[in-house]
A = this chain, B = another copy of it.
Amino acid sequence: GGSTLAGAPAPLGATALPDGGVNLAVATPSRGVSIVLWSEDALIGGRGNAKPSAEHELSPEEHRTGDVWHCRLTADMLKKGNYSYYGWRVTEPDGPRPPAAPPAPPGPPPVLVDPRAPGVGTAARPEFGDVASEAEGGLWPQMAGVLPVGAATVELPEFDWEGTRPPRHAREDLVVYEAHVRGLTALRQTEEGDAKAGTYAAVKDALPHLAFLGVNALELLPIYEFNEVEHYKLLDNGTTRLNFWGYSTLSFFAPMARYSSGDGALTALREMQEMVRECHRLGIEVILDVVFNHTAEGNEMGPSVTFRGLDERSYYVMAPAGEHYNYSGCGNTFNCNTPLARQFVLDCLRFWAIECRVDGFRFDLASILTRSSTRWDGESAYGSVVTGGHSGHGGDGDGRPAAAAEYGGGVYTGTPLGAPPLVEAISRDPALAHVKLFAEPWDAGGLYQVGSFPCGQRWAEWNGKFRDDVRRFLLLPGGGGAISDFAKRMCGSPDLYPGDRGPKASLNFVTCHDGFTTADLTAFNERHNMANGENNRDGEEHNLSWNCGEEGPTKNVEVRRMRARNRRNLMAALLLAHGTPMINMGDEINHTKGGNNNTYCWDTDVNYLPWDVLVSAGSRGNDARAMLRFTAGMVAFRKSKACLRGRNFPGHDQIEWHGDFAGQPDWEDTSELCAFRLFEEGGGDVYVAFNAGGVARTLELPHLGGGMRWDVVADTGAEAPFDFLRSDLLQDDFMNAGVPLVGARREAIAEFGHVRVLKHSCVVLEAVPHNSHELATDEPAYI
């Protein structure tokens, strides 16, 4: 030791210095710490045997300020050692191991990844899911932070945004597309010069598809460094199970290195920035799905990879003996309302928002951010830990005794706070004021905050009730008794977001990565998760789905037609409702996961977007292209109508409810019809009718004065291209053969002042001047 300079305690993490050196600083109350250095060869080339190139014990006098350990590596040192990666080793912890933890494994303590490393290198695993190296590196191979500069690493110049600007769409104008970097791009047809499949760079090649669809925000499943082999299991049937989705973060400042097409951990950061730049160039915002509710380190039996070894009790919600609370359902709970964790999350968000120009964040199990911490509690505020007695919200569901440590003012560990300091800090941070915030407003500990997420002025919520109520009304028999709830969801959920929150607080979705796809929602009554290796016990049990008569694949044309109709209904409900719609990747082309509603583990076609259907022959290709056209059409129609995207809930002047007869809605629980008219300022009102029942109906249309008539925009009861008739709104209508027939249908409606809505279908009309559109003579057969 002793050959490193003292360095400075701020900023935390690795900081490039103007002289070519690097300052390193990490917060840990440990009493002995050493800095560990690797060359690229030693770490990456070392594979299962990644011995450090150098290690220096730091002196508490020189290298410690408060609970921050720090040192400075000179350019000379870096060059001489050819160092590219670093880590910290705690040689003397600040206290004994918690009683609940197993004995320390033999050998020296592990080298820990710096929580603020801007990139992570992983010994023994250059490629995503490379389980071949398992024998060498283990499920937890040595990982290390990348040094931002140094002789062995090319210094990155300031990133060139090439004059692009973040789109900054209004929240009510957003149409979100939820995707997974690898899932989106793994099957992307490669042309000459295309980027490597499964990478940030390949996302660029997927953007024209998104642009055609008309979405203007891309929400990415976790892209922070995770260990995709964490859940690795070789199943009986010979398949391997991984952590594909990535909801198990290892390093929050580091873009997932194995989503990078190049070598070197810093390349990932650059490619991530390039991806954002190319999205912005097309007017598409980038939203990151971030997982601050737990980490990859598991419960008290888990490995020490980063946080645990540095300051376990500050980063995790723990009982006095060291057991981890499990509000996340994933073994541990990030201790969001300790000052250290708060600052960490805030700095992390700033990094991604400022350095990578990320436009928004979706917080996984965000309710955990509202829970009070352990840490102050007994230990600090009151002198000794209070045990027994109250269980508060502290039960972890494992039958473990709830440790009730009192928090200032009578708040117990895990109690949801009225004004959680972290949520407040995120909401009010000046550097994040432009950033869109989405909460998944619940957690796995039973906290459900749909409609009540704190600091709600700044936050939209994943509206789980939208998902459930739309499914109930459209898929369950007799409208599921959900007419009233469905109507509220179509209005942006005024029951959930009253006052100033408004429809913009509602992130509407019917399907997402978790659960059935839209195709499966209309083809399966039950989950089919046997392949996951947990005897079909995992995944959501109550899916509110309808197989339309047969379970799974079928050759029955009637069943298939009904499924298609319901797919369109669900998509129409999503895109016609007030609030911000989110489309699940693949639903626009009928992607099926074969009835598996919990596909976190599959690095296979199950989770890959099937690009081939866009060009393949046969009914699968045709159906996929039809759905794509319908979806793109509905997105375009939404964008063309301000009355579908109000900042406020539609009031009496903006909405009018109808039924079989105009102005006579049926609000009985048995109702299967939801029809309404939205008034568009300046003309062009919209009429929508969902018939959730099994019988076709003829509805009286509301009167239109002033030389206007109702014209059909969409009819989900019809097959493409008659399901969406505003070809003019599509960038490129590859089914325009149907257009001559369209006019006739329109004329029929205009003549009779009524509209026919087939069973399980939806019509969308638009008020147009009488003289608009050409007329044709034939009528389609299906009226």
Q: Which residues of B contact A61 (CB under 8 A)?
A: 165
Say yes or no: is A429 at the interface (Cβ < 8 Å to chain B). yes
Task: Name A238-269 residues within 8 Å CB distance of B.
Answer: none
Q: How distant is the Cα of A102 from the Cα of B411 in the complex, in angstroms?
A: 43
In the complex where A354-B10, A408-B454 touch, is A376 in contact with B424 (Cβ < 8 A)?
A: yes
Contact of A66 among B66, B380, B431, B457 (CB under 8 A): B431
- Cβ of A573 to closest chain B Cβ, rounded Å: 28
Q: How distant is the Cα of A501 from the Cα of B380 in the complex, in angstroms?
A: 9
Say yes or no: is A537 at the interface (Cβ < 8 Å to chain B). no
Among A414-422, A685-693, A721-729, which stretch is in contact with chain B? A414-422
CB-based contact B340/A67 at 8 Å: no
Say yes or no: is A563 at the interface (Cβ < 8 Å to chain B). no
Among A189-197, A432-440, A526-534, A623-631, which stretch is in contact with chain B? A432-440
Say yes or no: is A18 at the interface (Cβ < 8 Å to chain B). yes
Say yes or no: is A384 at the interface (Cβ < 8 Å to chain B). yes
- Cβ of A429 to closest chain B Cβ, rounded Å: 6
CB-based contact B354/A8 at 8 Å: yes
In the complex where A409-B419, A424-B376, A499-B384 touch, is A29 in contact with B433 (Cβ < 8 A)?
A: yes
Q: How distant is the Cα of A420 from the Cα of B411 in the complex, in angstroms?
A: 13
Say yes or no: is A65 at the interface (Cβ < 8 Å to chain B). yes
Q: How distant is the Cα of A381 from the Cα of B370 in the complex, in angstroms?
A: 13
CB-based contact B457/A380 at 8 Å: yes
Q: How distant is the Cα of A372 from the Cα of B384 in the complex, in angstroms?
A: 26
In the complex where A61-B165, A342-B425, A501-B383 touch, is A419 in contact with B433 (Cβ < 8 A)?
A: no
Contact of A418 among B339, B375, B409 (CB under 8 A): B409
- Cβ of A371 to closest chain B Cβ, rounded Å: 13
Q: How many copies does the complex hold?
A: 2
CB-based contact A456/B354 at 8 Å: no
In the complex where A428-B338, A429-B339 touch, is A407 in contact with B411 (Cβ < 8 A)?
A: no
Say yes or no: is A545 at the interface (Cβ < 8 Å to chain B). no
- Cβ of A458 to closest chain B Cβ, rounded Å: 7
Bitwise, A341-383 to B at CB < 8 A (1) or not (0) is 0110000001001100000000000000000100110011111
- Cβ of A127 to closest chain B Cβ, rounded Å: 35
Contact of A430 among B68, B380, B432 (CB under 8 A): B68
Say yes or no: is A512 at the interface (Cβ < 8 Å to chain B). no
Say yes or no: is A39 at the interface (Cβ < 8 Å to chain B). no
Q: Which residues of B contact A455 (CB under 8 A)?
A: 376, 380-381
Q: Which residues of B contact A66 (CB under 8 A)?
A: 353, 429-435
Q: How distant is the Cα of A457 from the Cα of B382 in the complex, in angstroms?
A: 8
Q: Which residues of B contact A376 (CB under 8 A)?
A: 419, 424, 428, 455
- Cβ of A336 to closest chain B Cβ, rounded Å: 12
CB-based contact A424/B383 at 8 Å: no
CB-based contact B339/A424 at 8 Å: yes
- Cβ of A333 to closest chain B Cβ, rounded Å: 18
**How many interface residues does chain A have, given as a range?**
35 or more
- Cβ of A273 to closest chain B Cβ, rounded Å: 14
Contact of A433 among B18, B67, B410, B499 (CB under 8 A): B67
Q: How distant is the Cα of A353 from the Cα of B67 in the complex, in angstroms?
A: 13
Q: How distant is the Cα of A116 from the Cα of B327 in the complex, in angstroms?
A: 39
Contact of A431 among B10, B379, B417, B454 (CB under 8 A): B10
Q: Which residues of B contact A432 (CB under 8 A)?
A: 66
Task: Name A436-490 residues within 8 Å CB distance of B.
Answer: 454-458
Q: How distant is the Cα of A498 from the Cα of B10 in the complex, in angstroms?
A: 36
Say yes or no: is A215 at the interface (Cβ < 8 Å to chain B). no
Say yes or no: is A9 at the interface (Cβ < 8 Å to chain B). yes
Say yes or no: is A500 at the interface (Cβ < 8 Å to chain B). yes
Q: Which residues of B contact A407 (CB under 8 A)?
A: 418-419
CB-based contact B428/A418 at 8 Å: no
A499 nearest in chain B by CB position: B383
CB-based contact A354/B434 at 8 Å: no
Bitwise, A572-610 to B at CB < 8 A (1) or not (0) is 000000000000000000000000000000000000000
Bitwise, A528-549 to B at CB < 8 A (1) or not (0) is 0000000000000000000000
Say yes or no: is A27 at the interface (Cβ < 8 Å to chain B). yes
CB-based contact B381/A425 at 8 Å: no
Say yes or no: is A508 at the interface (Cβ < 8 Å to chain B). no
CB-based contact B425/A68 at 8 Å: no
CB-based contact A431/B9 at 8 Å: yes
Say yes or no: is A569 at the interface (Cβ < 8 Å to chain B). no
Say yes or no: is A216 at the interface (Cβ < 8 Å to chain B). no
Q: How distant is the Cα of A419 from the Cα of B420 in the complex, in angstroms?
A: 11
Counting chain B CB atoms within 10 Å of each CB, the highest count among A29, A61, A457, A498 belongs to A457
Q: How distant is the Cα of A353 from the Cα of B381 in the complex, in angstroms?
A: 24
A sample of 10 inter-chain contacts (CB < 8 A) reads A27-B430, A66-B432, A66-B433, A67-B433, A314-B428, A339-B424, A379-B457, A381-B418, A411-B419, A421-B424
Apart from the given pairs A381-B454, A383-B457, 19 other A-B contacts in the complex at a CB distance below 8 Å = A66-B353, A66-B431, A66-B433, A66-B435, A339-B429, A340-B430, A343-B425, A376-B424, A376-B428, A376-B455, A381-B419, A381-B455, A383-B499, A383-B500, A383-B501, A384-B500, A407-B419, A421-B421, A421-B424
List residues of chain A with CB under 8 Å of any chain B CB: 8-10, 18, 27-29, 61, 65-68, 165, 314, 338-340, 342-343, 350, 353-354, 372, 375-376, 379-384, 407-411, 417-421, 424-425, 427-435, 454-458, 498-501
The 9 lowest CB-CB distance pairs between A and B, nearest first, are: A409-B418, A408-B418, A408-B419, A66-B433, A383-B499, A27-B430, A18-B18, A421-B421, A67-B433
